[in-house]
Amino acid sequence: MVIKTNPEFGIELVLTIPYAYYLHTQGKLEQVITSKGMKPFYYFCDNVIDELEYRSIDNEHAGLNSLPNNWIHHNAEKVFGTEYSNLSKDDQAKANGYLDYSEWKCPPYRDHFKDDSLKLDKPTIFVSNKYNIEHGEMPHGYFDIMCLYEIFTYLTEKGYSVIYKRATNKEGFTIDQNEWQTLNSNLNKGIIADVDGIGPITDHQLTKYFKDVYLVDDLIGDNDYNETQLKLMANSSGFISVCGGNSVLSSCFEAPVITYVHKGKELRPQYFDENSYFRKLSGADIYPVFDIITKINDIDKLKEWGYQDDQFNYSGTNDYTTLLNTIKTVFK
């Protein structure tokens, strides 16, 4: 069978690759045609053409309708035998994040890519950030400079090394519409803050002020970005990530993942329960942290789903308090 898809990165990790790997285990995978830079993720296939230069958010154009699961947030028809809208509220909650796993198997990325030559001297936490326009809205799903400073300080003082990643959308692999829009806006300078005694500083520059914090770009150097990234992640002891493609990728390596959720379908009840693809990817322990910013969410819908008023963030800005407390609980 030939698989050709070019959806958003996280969707490819959840819907395309596990199906391709399942076909590989059955001796049925002939070829994969995918987006530029994705070849390392299909290491198990000898015939990968990674040449597609755009990603699509449209299922049909992205090739998703040819897959057993064509939507990342549930597959009610396969799992429950009816459309999501026909389910009771209790069954809708059970369906959230629950896919059809009959032809679905995540590749063993940790076993395949583990490389002692890239292993740091201390247990390593891989921190993934992003700073992109989100479907026409300004960024909210990101860690700011102060949050990163507190994360780096806590982890290094506890004896961890930290690898920090925030893609600039200039790495050379295929990006989606949100990333293109960010690249062509004034946001392409990245995350910046004015720090007392230093002046304006970016998140990438912040890593230089910590002995055991490494910018992933520096570790990758001139090597293949995705292949080296996979090797570094396979050596990591845990992950902290904003929700989205980064948190999906982090969930593929059998190590604890803290994912910061500020909006989106992932706020649906029971989304991260035992049948969620997040947990099925590698069996990793997943710790979702919710920072429900009211001005970018449908509060009435969230209340309908069971969220209480005291769970909402009315400040309009990010509140990382629960995130930082969770980090201190998980990575002691």
pLDDT digits (tens, 9 = 90+) for 116-139: 999 999 999 999 999 876 766 667
pLDDT at position 168 = 75
Q: What CA–CA distance (Å, rounded) separates 139 from 5? A: 27
Tell whether 69 and 151 lie within a shared domain.
Answer: no
Q: Among 87, 108, 129, identify where a domain stops.
A: 108
Q: Among 108, 125, 144, identify where a domain stops.
A: 108
Bridge partners of residue 99, in order along the sequence: none
Tell whether 251 and 127 lie within a shared domain.
Answer: yes
Tell whether 183 and 253 lie within a shared domain.
Answer: yes
Q: What CA–CA distance (Å, rounded) separates 292 from 295? A: 9
Q: What CA–CA distance (Å, rounded) separates 291 from 137? A: 17
pLDDT at 85 > cutoff 80: yes
Q: Among 77, 108, 139, identify where a domain stops.
A: 108
Contact 29, 20 (CB under 8 A): yes
Tell whether 68 and 119 lie within a shared domain.
Answer: no
Residue 313 φ/ψ, nearest 5 degrees: -105, 105
Other beta carbons within 10 Å of 314: 11
Tell whether 174 and 287 lie within a shared domain.
Answer: yes
Boundaries of domain holding 73: 2-108
Tell whether 270 and 147 lie within a shared domain.
Answer: yes
Nearest CA among 272, 310, 325, 324 for reference residue 149: 324
Tell whether 28 and 114 lie within a shared domain.
Answer: no
pLDDT at 4 > cutoff 80: yes
pLDDT at 72 > cutoff 90: yes
Tell whether 40 and 158 lie within a shared domain.
Answer: no
pLDDT at position 69 = 98
Tell whether 103 and 142 lie within a shared domain.
Answer: no
Q: How many domains is the chain partitioned into structurally? A: 2
H/E run at residue 261 = strand 257-261
Mean pLDDT of 310-315: 95
Tell whether 90 and 174 lie within a shared domain.
Answer: no
Contact 232, 216 (CB under 8 A): yes
The CATH number given to whatever domain includes residue 165 is 3.40.50.2000
pLDDT at 186 > cutoff 90: no
Nearest CA among 94, 96, 77 for reference residue 86: 77
Question: Number of helices (H) and strands (E), helices first, in the chain?
Answer: 15, 13
